[in-house]
Chain A
Amino acid sequence: MADVQETQLKNQEATFAFGKKERKLLSDPLNDNNPVTVQVLGICSALAVTTLVYPSLVMAVAVVFVCAFANLAISLMRNIIPGQVRLIVQLVVIATLVTVVELALKALSYDVYKQLSVFIGLIITNCIIMGRLEAFAMANKPWQSFLDGIGNGLGYGLILIAVAFFREIFGKGTLFAGSPAELKIIGNTSEYLLNTEATWWLGWYANNGLMVLPAAAMFLIGIFIWIQRSYNTKLVDIS
């Protein structure tokens, strides 16, 4: 009897522990096991929104939210979901959370909602979320699954914002356009921080139209993968 109580107590302690293993759950997806550049998941719903930083930020927050809570919900239900219908159960949980995000965004920031259009709905088919549910939440405890969801959402958001940063600053010369804290960095009027007309050594500069095109996002991610694998040679593709 005492034994049972002791193990129960231990289990309870472990439920909300935040040790080395938990920290790894959060930090691994940022680099070594990044969902975009290493696992190649979730590229679909995201790249079209990365022309500007602000919508990408909103998208990243939405994905962190959906990923964390879908992981939590599925992990809580993992022992009662029948094997054959688990994909449909997972999809319904994700679709419900995405509907919550969509309605919240519509109410809070209608402009961003219009900009993201169908891509908010496409979080449902974001393979990161399905992938983590299958690979992690179905086999792990709720708290760990929750952290794993946050970690993977952040790893995805990191790439999203990095791509958007380069695309916006070189494509439009601004940062956070459309948000309350818009910064005008480089351009040919006095509104911009670096005025190319007035600075003698910047007269040649013009915004790069290629950066606004979808193709630029592909090139940037390709280059990110190149840089990451040059440092982290264990990720290199052998085939």
Chain B
Amino acid sequence: MGSAFNVFLEAAFIENLVLAYFLGMCSYLAVSKSVKTAIGLGAAVIFVLGITMPINWLLNKFLLEPGTNIFGGMLGQEMDLTFLRFILFIAIIASMVQLVEMIIEKYSPSLYISLGIFLPLITVNCAILGGSLFMVSRDYNLVESVAFGLGGGFGWFLAIVAIAAIREKMLYSDVPPALRGLGMAFILTGLMGIAFMSLMGIDPAALANGGK
């Protein structure tokens, strides 16, 4: 349990998906003009990351990985299907987003109206697929992958809300015309990245042991 909490902290603050890996940059820049919409998209990303990570983990283990997949038992010989990983992951993400959209539409129309337009966007949010690929390359277990999904989503939420708030304030500043809007958003993200880097020296495992 302790290690899952460390994974959560690490994903949310130290290795922030946006500010350390540039994942989910497109929607981050496009939808950060007002805080309200940024909160909506951020919440949807937390939700979808939290759902797709465990599903992809299970499918990766029981359908693709040699040695643990069910085809090995069925055919009596090992099969390595990992080359299908991209197609499987993206299909799961696309269908999960569609499913989430339908469920929200049915049970909470008010939430659907506030999130509605952002949900389809999330399919092509690199943070979702990137999260699943990091999960595979870092060998997380099931609990850790849920923690990584929620933590990564929370970090993404923090970053987009922060930049939206800064951009709202920037409207009153005297920025050179050619730098206005997009150019300034890039430079601000760079500065935020440097600020988040000061968290890099923190080792969550050491904190859990009382600073040793």
Inter-subunit contact B26/A42 (CB<8 Å): yes
Inter-subunit contact A118/B187 (CB<8 Å): no
**Stretch with Cβ within 8 A of B (4 or more), from A124-132, A138-146, A169-177, A195-203:** A124-132
Known: A98-B86, A213-B197. A218 touches B180 (CB 8 A): no
Residues of A within 8 Å of B137, CB to CB, are 117-118
Residues of A within 8 Å of B158, CB to CB, are none
Inter-subunit contact A45/B186 (CB<8 Å): no
CB distance from A116 to the nearest CB of B (A): 12
The number of chain A residues with a CB under 8 A from chain B is: 49
B183 contacts the other chain (Cβ, under 8 Å)? yes
From A43, which residue of chain B is reached at the shortest CB distance? B25
B179 contacts the other chain (Cβ, under 8 Å)? yes
Inter-subunit contact A127/B26 (CB<8 Å): yes
A214-239 interface with B by 8 A CB criterion: 214-219, 221-223, 225-227, 229-230, 233, 236-237, 239
Known: A87-B123, A91-B94, A103-B83. A218 touches B186 (CB 8 A): yes
Inter-subunit contact B191/A215 (CB<8 Å): yes
Inter-subunit contact A127/B190 (CB<8 Å): no
Residues of B within 8 Å of A125, CB to CB, are 90, 124-126, 128-130
Cα A126 to Cα B130 in complex, Å, equals: 11
B78-113 interface with A by 8 A CB criterion: 83-87, 90-91, 94-95
Of A102, A125, A223, most B-chain CB atoms within 10 Å: A125
List 30 A–B pairs whose Cβ atoms lie within 8 Å, in order of A's numbering.
A43-B22, A43-B25, A44-B26, A45-B126, A94-B90, A96-B87, A99-B84, A102-B83, A102-B86, A118-B133, A118-B134, A121-B86, A122-B23, A122-B126, A125-B130, A126-B126, A127-B26, A213-B197, A214-B20, A214-B193, A215-B189, A215-B193, A218-B190, A222-B185, A222-B190, A225-B186, A229-B178, A233-B177, A236-B178, A239-B181
Name B's A-contacting residues (CB within 8 A).
19-26, 29-30, 33, 83-87, 90-91, 94-95, 120, 123-130, 133-134, 137, 176-187, 189-191, 193-194, 197
